[in-house]
Amino acid sequence: MKHWLQTLRHGAHTGAKKLSRKILHWRMRNRPQAEVLLAERKLRGLEQYKKLRSADVVFVSFGKSGRTWLRVMVSHLFRIKHDLPENAILSFDNFHNMEPAVPKTFFTHDNYIKDYTGEPDSKKPFYDKPVILLVRDPRDVAVSQFFQWKFRLKDNKVALNNYPSREDDVSIFDFVMSDIGGGMLEVIQYMNVWAREVDNVERFHLVRYEDLRADSPGQLRGMLDFMGVSATDEQVAAAVEYSSFENMKKMESQAQFRLAGGRMMPRDKDNPDSYKVRRAKVGGYRDYFSDEEVALIDARLRDTLDAYFKYV
């Protein structure tokens, strides 16, 4: 009973957020679109800021950096450790409310808080929080963002997050090389701000997607140690196996993440590029471009990305 009550509570909270956004749009219905979008970004930033301030641990990542994979992995570890509902996904305090030993865990793309604070180059709201920053090669992120924009992104998020119109004929190369929604330069700018702010965060742990792929048990163990969470080798191994690419692809196709909302459902079951779990290939960006285009993309990365992340 407690598990289902928590599910209902989460649904009610989600409904309240949607209602507040609808009211905002109604009140600003005669205002220019740019003002409406900024107001919604500030509202979303306030919602995220409140969660951040009450979170026990924060996972930060740019979209399409492997957050869903990591989230499923950590969720499964807590599920088997505390006998929580099958296929449930960590969503801030839902696991904590069922089992207080689970920290309130905030997963954020950190894309709206700056609109609320008005400080785009500062991570001050994160300074006193335990932060796990998940990063991925911006070239792979931008390619994955292209397919997210083309096949998965909700219509209201296109303008809200400064993506090009889907009515425009944008090639994958032009998208990746752009500095707007999901393009490589936006990813790099995001990472560079974090590189400058790392020393100001009291407790900080960096996880690179590529390292997580190469040594999932070791990287998961490092995150658990950072969070102060004990786990047996068997529990770590089970979490890694459960979150394998093959298993997640199968579960998404069979809609087994019924407690995860729409985030773990394909937009078109017949289109592999519309799946949340798409390829998970390190360096896969090269598959989409000519040698000349790869050279241009690589040069842009070398010229702009902070060396802190060791991608250059």
Confidence band (pLDDT; 50, 70, 90) for 174? very high
Residues 6+ apart with CB under 8 A from 275: 249, 252, 253, 266
d(CA 110, CA 120): 10
Confidence band (pLDDT; 50, 70, 90) for 294? very high
Angle at 212 between CA 124 and CA 233, to 5 degrees: 110
Mean pLDDT of 182-194: 97
Confidence band (pLDDT; 50, 70, 90) for 212? very high
d(CA 184, CA 57): 28
Task: Give the model's pLDDT for residue 253.
Answer: 62
Instruction: Please tell me the pTM assigned to this model.
Output: 0.87
Residues 6+ apart with CB under 8 A from 243: 69, 70, 72, 73, 76, 216
d(CA 268, CA 132): 32
- Model confidence at 312: pLDDT above 70: yes
What number of helices (H) and strands (E) belong to the chain?
A: 14, 4
Task: Give the model's pLDDT for residue 136.
Answer: 97
Burial call 158-184: b when 16+ CB within 10 Å, e when fewer: bbbbebbeeeeebebbebbbbeebbbb
- Model confidence at 279: pLDDT above 80: no
104: left (phi over 0), alpha (psi -120 to 50) or beta: beta
What residue spans define the domains of the chain?
2-309
Classified by CATH at the fold level, domain 2-309 comes out as Rossmann fold (3.40.50)
Task: Give the model's pLDDT for residue 1.
Answer: 46
Angle at 116 between CA 113 and CA 120, to 5 degrees: 65
d(CA 175, CA 126): 30
Q: If you ran DSSP here, which 8-state letter would residue 265 be given? A: S
Burial class (CB in 10 A: 0-12, 13-18, 19+), 30: exposed
Element (H, E) at 58: strand 57-61
Task: Give the model's pLDDT for residue 276.
Answer: 54
